[in-house]
Structure 1
Amino acid sequence: MKRRAVVTGIGAVAPGGVGREAFWDLLSAGRTATRRISMFNPSAFRSQIAAEVDFDPRAAGLSAQDVRRMDRAAQFAVVSTREALADSGVELAGVDPGRVGVSIGSAVGCTMGLEQEYEVLSDGGRKWLVDHSYGVPHLYGYMVPSTLAAEVAYEVAAEGTVALISTGCTSGLDAVGHGMQLIEEGSADVVLAGATDAPLSPITSACFDAITATSPNNDDAAHASRPFDARRDGFVLGEGCAVLVLEDEEAARRRGAHIYARLSGFGARSNAFHMTGLKPDGREMAEAIRVALDGAELNASDVDYINAHGSGTKQNDRHETAAFKRALKQRAYEVPVSSIKSMVGHSLGAIGAIEVAACALALDRQVVPPTANLHHPDPECDLDYVPLVAREHRMDAVLSVGSGFGGFQSAMVLTRP
């Protein structure tokens, strides 16, 4: 019998609240967590808003030594992992450590730790030749993105496959897809899969300001993230993490685990076209959707909800709409579509895993999260984008997609167990 990967635990550190239930409460209520940046003075930047996590690492159970050693993104990952394990009820003590894997995604690694240390080592940028003697003992760890996956592996004593997936804004979706494949091929019995990014720093703001990708709607931060709205003017940065416990379905059933969803299909493609540009026909995303549906042994007519990338840029939203129509034909006009980035912002590499967590919860609770702030639909985006209010809806199969700088296009199908 073919092995199937299922989600048995969910942990989240997300804007609007720490923990899985706080995250779901925000989404189902259609609230936004976007606001003026408080983590540094953003006055010098074009876009001064973000979706921040109100996160106290000590209150979340990390020790003073943990906080000193780990970048904020790593802290998110460890706290999310602990919640996901507790939720799943899996006893790792009874699992061969060589059969426990980790697949963590991140687009920008330990950005905050690196920027803070550079500021110290360069004396606020005044010295071209930095003085390494001022660096913290863990500076090397900040420079190596795989540190994030290693911290999760240390937490769960995983001795199987441990990987850091970095594919831009599809990192989270791709990391969960990799974890799914480890279960299916028999390389692991339990995988901690997800993604984390804590990019809210001056260097990140400067980079996105330079290409005018982020929203300058600083006077109305709560409504600045407006996917599929005719007045949208860019995405809103965010931060956060989601980690899922993945297991083989038969093993999960034998131990009586609560199964949120089955990961039934995954597909990834590249447009080999442009670092930030997208072709208007959405062909590569449509192809990723086709591969994911084929893997799930489903047809377009079986899709009951689409969790869109929905970044809130004019280019992306039109590209995605075209991809849905190309892949799903008439079904694209019949199925609800929504973007949670309207509420939690765009946390770069982490968002794909956060969206998979949202899809698993949506399937489990049979509720479609809304697209907040969608008051003036773009005529070119003419699908059912579930504006403003969550919707109870029968779902057996959910499609989640991601699109990333560099031309990455990914799609995953989740089904009811």
Structure 2
Amino acid sequence: MTRRVVITGIGVRAPGGKGVKEFWSTLSGGRTATRRITFFDPSPYRSQVAAEADFDPVVEGLTAAEADRMDRATQFAVVCADEAVQDSGLDLTALDPYRVGVSLGSAVAAATSLEREYLNLSGGGRNWEVDPAGLSPYMFDYMVPSVMPAEVAWAVGAEGPVAMVSNGCTSGLDSVGHAVQLIREGSADTMVAGASDTPITPIVVACFDAIKATTPRNDAPEEASRPFDGSRNGFVLAEGAAMFVLEEYDSAKRRGAPIYAEVTGYATRSNAFHMTGLKPDGREMAEAIRVALNESRADPTAVDYINAHGSGTKQNDRHETAAFKRSLGPHAYATPVSSIKSMVGHSLGAIGSLEIAASVLAIQHDVVPPTANLHISDPECDLDYVPITAREHRVDTVLTVGSGFGGFQSAMVLRDPEEAA
């Protein structure tokens, strides 16, 4: 018998507020957290806006030594993991550490620290020959992405399966999907899983500038992210993290754990087509959705809300609109769809986990968060995208999806555990 997997703890750090309550307040209130970049002078760049998180590692409980050692993305992950464990009420020290694992996702890992160290070694990029005397003693930690889940494992005492998943912008979905599979197959009983990315750094901004993927709407940062709107012109870069405690259902019930939702289905596919291009028919995403629903033993009509990838690029928005129609059929037109990237931006590998958190909270509150800044829909995006204002709506089953450079397409189904049963 396949073991059921549930979410019993959540930790979030995102633009617009600290913790789960402030995150949900931002989303349900339809407030945007995008602003002009403050981490460095953005004036030389095409896109000068981002969704930054207000985060102080020492205030968040890390020691000065830990803050020095860890990249910003790792700091986010460790803080969120601790928050998720506390939220779950689980005493990890009472568990067999070999049955506790970590699965962490990230697209660009320690990009912030790598760029900082390069600038330190090269005189701000002016010198071809770098000075090794200025090398950080933690440079290895920044070079090797697997250090991130290792730090989380050390923090929570996990000695079971520990993995790093880096599938671009679907990393936050895929890392949780990997954790679910480990529990289902019996390789672990408890997993701390999620994703973290802090890509607001000059080299990352320049990379997206080069391919014109990010928005140049710099005069009104709070209105810059416009998924599914006819005037959209690129996504808003962001940072953030979300971590979860995942447990086997029966074990969670026995200890009286708070159960937010059950992960009933997950699938990922690749288009084997283009690094950044998407086919307009949405076939690969539709296939991931079909498999995830089949695994959930759920008919497409069971979906109450779709948490879209909704990046705010014309190519993506039309691609996933077609995927929803292809996979859900007529029910796609009756299902509320929204993109939280309109409020908290696109934090690359982390956003999939933040969207899982938003989906779980939608189930908890029976509220669909809105798509902010959606005033005039693209005629090719003709579904119900919940514009501007959150909507009260019975939410028992959520489909959340992700699309990433490299052709990755992932889908996950989250359900109220009683409905899933």
Q: Which TM class, normalised by the smaller chain length?
A: over 0.9
Q: Provide the residue aligned with 2:101 in structure 1.
A: 101
Q: Provide the residue aligned with 2:237 in structure 1.
A: 237
Letter in 1 for 2:12: A
Aligned mates of 1:193, 1:258 — CA distance in 2: 17
Q: What 5-or-longer segments of structure 1 have no aligned partner?
A: none
Aligned mates of 2:45, 2:384 — CA distance in 1: 35
Q: Provide the residue aligned with 1:390 in structure 2.
A: 390
Letter in 2 for 1:218: N
Give the 5 Å matches for 1:91-130: 91-130=91-130
Q: Provide the residue aligned with 1:142 in structure 2.
A: 142
Q: Provide the residue aligned with 1:377 in structure 2.
A: 377
SS in 2 for 1:145: coil
Moved more, 133-142 or 245-254: 133-142
Q: TM-score, normalised by structure 2?
A: 0.98
Shift of 1:133: 2.2
Q: What are the Cα deviations for residues 167-207 of structure 1, in whole angstroms up to 9, with x where unaligned?
A: 00000000010011111111111100100000000000100
Letter in 2 for 1:79: V
SS in 2 for 1:218: coil
SS in 1 for 2:141: helix
Q: Provide the residue aligned with 1:275 in structure 2.
A: 275
Q: Provide the residue aligned with 1:189 in structure 2.
A: 189
Aligned mates of 1:126, 1:236 — CA distance in 2: 29
Q: Provide the residue aligned with 2:407 in structure 1.
A: 407
Letter in 1 for 2:286: A
Letter in 2 for 1:353: S
Letter in 1 for 2:158: A
Letter in 2 for 1:75: Q
Aligned-CA RMSD value: 0.6
Q: Provide the residue aligned with 1:285 in structure 2.
A: 285
Q: What are the Cα deviations for residues 71-92 of structure 1, in whole angstroms up to 9, with x where unaligned?
A: 0000000110111011000110
Q: Provide the residue aligned with 2:330 in structure 1.
A: 330
Q: Provide the residue aligned with 1:8 in structure 2.
A: 8
Give the 5 Å matches for 1:61-76: 61-76=61-76
Q: Provide the residue aligned with 2:354 in structure 1.
A: 354
Shift of 1:94: 1.2
Q: Provide the residue aligned with 1:309 in structure 2.
A: 309
Aligned mates of 2:247, 2:371 — CA distance in 1: 31
Q: TM-score, normalised by structure 1?
A: 0.99
Letter in 1 for 2:72: R
Shift of 1:317: 0.2
Aligned mates of 1:192, 1:83 — CA distance in 2: 11
Identical residues among aligned pairs (%): 66
Letter in 2 for 1:318: R
Shift of 1:320: 0.5
1:205 and 2:205 are equivalent in the alignment: yes
1:17 and 2:27 are equivalent in the alignment: no
Moved more, 34-43 or 130-139: 130-139
Equivalenced residues, count: 417
Shift of 1:126: 1.7
1:264 and 2:270 are equivalent in the alignment: no
Letter in 2 for 1:249: Y
Q: Provide the residue aligned with 1:38 in structure 2.
A: 38
Q: Which of structure 1's runs of 4+ aligned residues deviate more than 4 A?
A: none
Q: What are the Cα deviations for residues 239-282 of structure 1, in whole angstroms up to 9, with x where unaligned?
A: 00000000000000000001000000001000000000000000
Letter in 1 for 2:392: E
Give the 5 Å matches for 1:165-180: 165-180=165-180
Q: Provide the residue aligned with 2:227 in structure 1.
A: 227
